[in-house]
């Protein structure tokens, strides 16, 4: 449910940026409608949900949450991995989550996230014939 709410907020923010931008582009066609300030303003409500989703994912990994169906074999061809691999799986998953968070934070801090957002918006609007 949290992921759905996050997706809805992000989509609503992107649509809001586009609608406000097209209205302003009518006044000044040479003005860029996709700025970092507008993106930050429209997407700010999604930040708490993103942090909550990340915290729940880390908490689930730390507590060793498992899918109840994961322990049951799917059929005759299913075989369980050795016990040694299962012990290290939680540590590896936690390390990957921490590394991913570090890389995302580094990208946001150096401005890459803004560049990617602007390029993605341009590509999407050009694809549907709006840009």
115 vs 50: CA distance, rounded Å: 20
- Region 53-76: mean pLDDT is 70
pLDDT at 99 over 80: yes
Range of the domain at 104: 2-65+85-127
What six digits make up the tokens of 107? 């990208």
Phi-psi map region of 64: left, alpha, beta (phi>0 left; psi -120 to 50 alpha):
left
Average pLDDT, the chain: 76
Domain membership of residue 89 (yes or no) is yes
- Total of domains in the chain: 1
pTM, entire model: 0.45
Task: Quickly state the pLDDT bin for 124 (edges 50, 70, 90).
Answer: confident
pLDDT value, residue 79: 56
Asked if 96 contacts 58 with a C-beta cutoff of 8 angstroms, the reply is no
pLDDT at 54 over 80: yes
Domain membership of residue 38 (yes or no) is yes
106 versus 24: the higher-pLDDT residue is 106
Domain membership of residue 107 (yes or no) is yes
pLDDT at 47 over 60: yes
Beta-carbon count within 10 A of 108 CB: 11
Domain membership of residue 77 (yes or no) is no
> Helix, strand, coil: what percent of the chain each, to 5?
75, 0, 25
Domain membership of residue 70 (yes or no) is no
Domain membership of residue 72 (yes or no) is no
- Region 51-79: mean pLDDT is 69
pLDDT value, residue 83: 53
Domain membership of residue 79 (yes or no) is no
């Amino acid at each position: 449910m949290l992921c759905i709410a996050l997706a809805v907020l992000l989509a609503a923010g992107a649509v809001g940026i586009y609608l406000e931008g097209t209205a302003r582009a009518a006044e000044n066609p040479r003005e860029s409608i996709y700025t970092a300030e507008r993106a930050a303003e429209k997407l700010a409500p999604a930040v708490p949900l993103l942090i909550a989703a990340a915290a729940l994912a880390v908490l689930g990994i730390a507590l060793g949450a498992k899918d109840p169906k994961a322990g049951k074999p799917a059929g005759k061809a299913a075989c369980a991995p050795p016990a040694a691999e299962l012990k290290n799986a939680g540590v590896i998953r936690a390390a990957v989550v921490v590394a991913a968070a570090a890389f995302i934070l580094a990208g946001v801090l150096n401005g890459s996230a803004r560049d990617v957002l602007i390029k993605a918006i341009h590509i999407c609007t050009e694809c549907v014939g709006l840009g």
